[in-house]
Structure 1
């Protein structure tokens, strides 16, 4: 069995926005339920230990909040700052503890990371994951997805060999092609990025699905359960939204389990 813990559920700017006095930002600034660090999940399984997906600029705060002092393996979806801004801090932890961390991502993502932070290789081993990889009883595969005006990202699918259970993490995507949608069919759990409930900016300026668009896709993909993450200051967790019972917004500290 794998336990997935949401350590961050925010979009690129997090919540609150430093410049914003909207109701949601004000509530989160006062320590409310809408306080959101940048998106990151922690994975735990008896047969491979602890792993995280992404390492944004809030990584240190997220580790402190979780009572964690170290993690030695991280999957990276893409090289945007809100997903890799914490890598130097992680590398420094590796240096002080004398442990070399392992960062897994497709080769083109690793190239971008090492070009931006060329010194990280002293304390982190970068391992390409262009082909399916194996962690304990789970097969992990990455595939490229459209990220709108922001280019591309990768999503990860986890398949447990014994049970046949599958789940996927797709935090930054919009306008997926038919080919890019194939790994999302028939999942036990889908974690999908949706920054706004209904995003009214021109489509060509956008980079992530909104909730209404995601809800149109769920009957096609047919996941048993969906959790929305990468949430902006448009989403108010105190509010009741018109979404089906098998879908919900992820919140900080939420734990879910998949597999056997």
Structure 2
């Protein structure tokens, strides 16, 4: 059976924040319960592994898995916390004389090429605007609102009647953007806070209380919240829907009916 492993569940800065002495950051430094690397997951299939997002904690995440190489990655959008590990992946490929394969929409590659113009010497870019197939999964990207940060891409996966989606960076989705979230067995959704008090125009990701309304509308079978900031305490006992859980790094979820 295929499996999804959470390698990171943190927001763009991760937890702990270097400068911060809040209770959540203090706990992250001691017990480690609230330590959160930048959001990323690994899809394991009979065909091999597919990493989703390659952020600045990539080396640590690969070490956690005991891995010394990576073959393929799927990128959601070209923000630092989702692509900053790619130069280190390039370096690993250079020293091992191998190549990696990166899947993303063309607009994502356009930004990556501007930021890291040398990566294609060792990483092959494969546009997936029209969808792609991997490990028996039909994978389809769609563009979603990322609030003040512009747009991101979410991905819907379908295989043998099982449907799940990865939507790490989204906010105030339109009705059209919500459509691929309907009919899911599982949803991985980014939520920076339980309840965020910042002005709407300054925000880029749902909070959990806003996500509850989205879940009532789209009705996924199971939900994992990810992309959480130091405003989230994993042990706080938040009131959540019965089908919703806070993800932790190392958590492995079986995919399939």
**TM-score normalised over the length of structure 2:** 0.98
Partner of 1:158: 157
Where in structure 1 are there 5+ consecutive unaligned residues? none
CA distance in 2, matches of 1:65, 1:6: 11
CA distance in 2, matches of 1:39, 1:32: 16
- Between Structure 1 and Structure 2, how many residues are aligned? 257
CA distance in 1, matches of 2:104, 2:131: 11
Task: Give yes or no for the alignment of 1:218 onto 2:229.
Answer: no
Q: Name the SS for the 1:244 alignment partner.
A: coil
Task: Give yes or no for the alignment of 1:30 onto 2:30.
Answer: yes
**TM-score normalised over the length of structure 1:** 0.97
Partner of 1:114: 113
Partner of 2:12: 12
> How big is each residue's C-alpha offset from its partner over 1:150-179, in whole Å with a ceiling of 9 and x where there is no partner?
01100011010xx21110000000000111
Q: Name the SS for the 1:172 alignment partner.
A: coil
Q: Name the SS for the 1:238 alignment partner.
A: coil
Partner of 2:141: 142
Partner of 1:231: 228
Superposition deviation, residue 136 in structure 1: 2.6
Check whether the contact 1:188–1:258 (CA below 8 A) recurs between aligned residues. no
Of the three residues 167, 171, 177, the one matched with 2:168 is 171
Q: Name the SS for the 2:188 alignment partner.
A: strand
Question: Aligned-pair RMSD on alpha carbons?
Answer: 0.8
Q: Name the SS for the 2:118 alignment partner.
A: helix
Q: Name the SS for the 1:3 alignment partner.
A: strand
CA distance in 2, matches of 1:199, 1:136: 38
Superposition deviation, residue 31 in structure 1: 4.1
CA distance in 2, matches of 1:24, 1:252: 16
Moved over 6 A (4+): none
CA distance in 1, matches of 2:181, 2:2: 19
Partner of 1:44: 44
Q: Name the SS for the 1:19 alignment partner.
A: coil
Check whether the contact 1:38–1:230 (CA below 8 A) recurs between aligned residues. yes
